[in-house]
Amino acid sequence: MCHVLTIEDEPLVAMTIQDILASEGATSFEIVDTEEAAVSAAAAHAPSVITSDVKLLEGTGPRAVAEIHRRLGPIPVIFITGTPEECSPCNPPGLIIPKPFTVQAIIAAFRESAPSN
């Protein structure tokens, strides 16, 4: 079972990521668009993997991920962003995929990050 928390403020991008990861075996998803919602969602259902944009409607993905890690411990993260230069280095570190992304890039990052069943 692999629960993915997607922190993304563009609904079509979030749904595309969800579709790609579902085809790779992710079994449940939560999509949020703010830093606060991301932290709350992770507290309610700890994710196996996090995908995160950098800029959000409110707050940032890297700050949300850092707070989730502080509360829950290390969780693999894939940053998918149109502003990769603002995520270098992200703390905690994760894989960084620039937008526009390819399906192959998302699949490769997920395969590298997702916990083995």
* Per-residue model confidence (pLDDT) at position 86: 86
Q: Which two tokens stand for residue 27?
A: 């079994």
Domains and CATH numbers, the chain: 3-113 (3.40.50.2300)
What single letter denotes the amino acid at residue 49?
Answer: V
Q: What percent of the chain has pLDDT over 90?
A: 85
How many other β-carbons are positioned within 10 Å of the β-carbon of residue 75?
19
| Among 37, 44, 29, residue whose Cα is nearest residue 9 | 37
**Tens of pLDDT, residues 20-67:** 999 999 999 999 999 999 999 999 999 999 999 999 999 999 999 999
Question: What's the Cα-to-Cα distance from 51 to each of 4, 36, rounded to whole Å?
Answer: 7, 15
